[in-house]
Amino acid sequence: QTKRFIIENGHSRPKAKGPFAKNSDGRSFSEKYYFTVSKSGLKIERSWLCYSTILQKAYCRSCWLFGDRTSTGFQEIWTTGYCDWKHIVDGIKRHEQSHVHYISCLVYEKWFLNKTLNEELEQNIKKEKLFWRQVLERILNITLTLAMRSLPFRGHREKLGSGKGENGNFICFIELLAKYDPVLEKVINQGNNKVNYCSPKIQNELIQLISNKVEDELILNIKEAPFFSIIIDTTQDISKVDQLSEIYRYCVIEKDEYGNPKNVCVKETFLAFHEVVDQSASSLSELILQNIEKKGLSIAKCRGQGYDGAANMSGMYNGLQKRIKDIEPSAAYVHCSAHNLNLVVNDAVKEITEMEIFFDIVQRVFVFFGHSIVRWRILSDLIKESNSQNGLLIKKLNPTRWAGRYETVFALKIRFVEIQKAYKIYTLQLEVK
């Protein structure tokens, strides 16, 4: 591109008085050196000879652009600048007769003659670049939409442009937009054997690139915060793999137009899941510290730790919180408040017989209706007829989450009348049989 620009816009060839700076001998470059006279008296222009008014030196345009600098006959002085004005005539003749100069001039002429073809080719390349940039822009927006809605990308069998229901959400979105968008329509019409940036591999790469960009932005926010806390918990996924969730709680200082702090906003950011093989405190601390370092964060800015009450997490002498605190004493450990409250309430009501009986009855009510399609349908029909509370149904009792028990009891209270009616209807149906 640089060479093309120089060829199209010409070189520095000052005329008349230049200005041409004189050396200590009073000699300088002259406009007459731009020409030579043949034996027949014909005046011939040396189109290759140029003069830099900044360096105050002469140079060879062709060799500067296309000279083979690895050749033994290459004269570097004609690319860096020639200023020996006493011997310039001989220097020009020697340079004109060199093989490297001859080849450089041939290459220059080929470039100059092919300028029109190259311009047309470059225009086509620009159009092609613009087209695929537009394609990628649309594909990225589709990827973002599916990711934000937590929708799967691929289907059972995928073929772009087939219009079959076997295609996944990603291809279906492209086919839908192609009905109204000429860019995507062109991608579909060119066939499956052409580049279309819609393959599963490209989809995965785009997802990963977007993920990396989002993660980098979140990490940057944490880095800019004056301090942060870490919140860690582990749980088994559906494939029985123990997953550790990595969450950061930090302050974002909002500033006004003059750069002065105006508000402090506390945020929590989930960054990753990590597979855990060893549940020991030493293994967990090593994993956490490695990830903090990998993200370019400083443990010295950690001011809090939030875990559950398991011994490997909360242990005072050898737990995870103690190991982190040994490295950063300011990282105060806080037992999860929700866990604490849940444990306190559970332990408190276990000793109350009436409460045990009450929640047992609540669970039996759900089991009675929930384990029978007939009974559940009777109750559901009555709830639909009532047109209250947006069709709220009774819920299963949550044995570990106390807030879930409230939801169960609340649903039972709202649907108490419908439950009574359902009992009566079902009992009458049994008597009829």
Using omega within 30 degrees of 0 as the cis cutoff, is the peptide bond preceding 261 cis? no
Query: 151-190: per-residue pLDDT in tens?
Result: 888 877 777 766 666 788 888 888 889 899 999 888 888 7
156, 141, 27: which is closest to 91 by C-alpha? 27
> What is the rounded CA–CA span in Å between residue 328 and residue 308?
20
| Rounded to 5°, angle at Cα 127 from 121 and 129 | 100
56, 106, 104: which is closest to 81 by C-alpha? 56
Whether 233 shows a pLDDT value over 80: the answer reads yes
What pLDDT was estimated at residue 347?
79
Q: Domains in the chain, please, with CATH?
A: 2-113 (no CATH), 127-205 (no CATH), 225-335 (3.30.420.40), 350-432 (no CATH)
> What is the rounded CA–CA span in Å between residue 14 and residue 56?
11
What pLDDT was estimated at residue 403?
64
The total number of residues shown for the chain amounts to 433
The total of other beta-carbon atoms located within 10 Å of residue 376's CB is 16
Whether 137 shows a pLDDT value over 90: the answer reads yes
- Give the confidence band of 404 by pLDDT, cuts at 50, 70, 90: low
Which residues, 6+ apart, have CB-to-CB distance to 126 below 8 Å?
Answer: none
Burial of 142 (0-12, 13-18, 19+ CB in 10 A): buried
Which residues, 6+ apart, have CB-to-CB distance to 246 below 8 Å?
Answer: 230, 232, 270, 271, 272, 273, 274, 288, 291
- Give the confidence band of 115 by pLDDT, cuts at 50, 70, 90: low
Output the pTM of the full model: 0.57
> What is the rounded CA–CA span in Å between residue 224 and residue 32?
65
Whether 288 shows a pLDDT value over 80: the answer reads yes
Six-digit token string for 282: 């030493």
Average pLDDT, the chain: 85
108 HSE (CA, 13 A, CB side):
22
**Contacts within 8 Å (CB) and 24+ apart, 29-33:** 29/56, 29/58, 29/85, 29/88, 33/58, 33/88, 33/89, 33/92
> What is the rounded CA–CA span in Å between residue 209 and residue 200?
14
